[in-house]
Amino acid sequence: MQQHVLIKESYTVDYAGFWWRLGAMVIDGIILWFVYYVLDGLWNLAAGLPWGGITAEMVQEGTTTVPLWWLRFALFFLLVLFFYAGFWAWKGATPGKMLFRLKITNFDGSQISRGTALLRFCGYIISGFIIFIGFFWIAFDGRRQGVHDKIAETFVTRIPTKREMESWKSTIDSRSLP
């Protein structure tokens, strides 16, 4: 006979809300923008262009795109993919989420796998497709899940501080005393 284990959701889970997650995303965006700025500048220098990429001669000739822009876009997309999915699978959070003490987990609280991280990244793309509605959904969902979380079956929780843990422990201890 096969036994099934039912997992009861804890009422002490602190799902990370919209504003915490938006703040983390802004931090991650700043990090990615800086990395892109440096890599793009180095690419331009290697191609014989100035750091900014477009010269006055290119503007006069009517050429306003940097050579191989599509390859740069593809490489940057891969960088973003490895940044998000890599940090999610490795640490359970990107640097922005770590700064705000947020963690991405499965329902049972376990670390997400690389496959789940890739699926979540695909969900990120879907979430941003139509005016970022998949991200705004976080503000209205009871478990604060965006569309990408629902697709990958993940949750973003807030890791309590040591002081919060001690406060909760003392509250629980005081309730258990007769």
- pLDDT tens digit string along 13-49? 789 999 999 999 999 999 999 999 999 889 888 877 8
Q: At what angle do helices 114-129 and 69-91 cross, to 10 degrees?
A: 130
- Quote the pLDDT of residue 93: 97
- Quote the pLDDT of residue 98: 97
Structural domain boundaries of the chain?
A: 18-165
pTM metric for this prediction = 0.81
* Range list of β-strands (E), 13-166: 102-105, 155-158
Q: How far is CA 34 from CA 1, 2, 41, in A?
A: 57, 53, 11
Instruction: Give pLDDT tens digits for 52-79.
Output: 877 777 777 777 666 677 888 899 999 9
- Quote the pLDDT of residue 17: 93
Token pair listed for 132:
């970022």
| C-alpha–C-alpha distance, residues 38 and 86, integer Å | 21
Give the long-range contacts of residues 76-79, CB within 8 A, separation 24 or more: 76/36, 76/39, 79/32, 79/35, 79/36, 79/39
| Amino acid, res. 161 | T
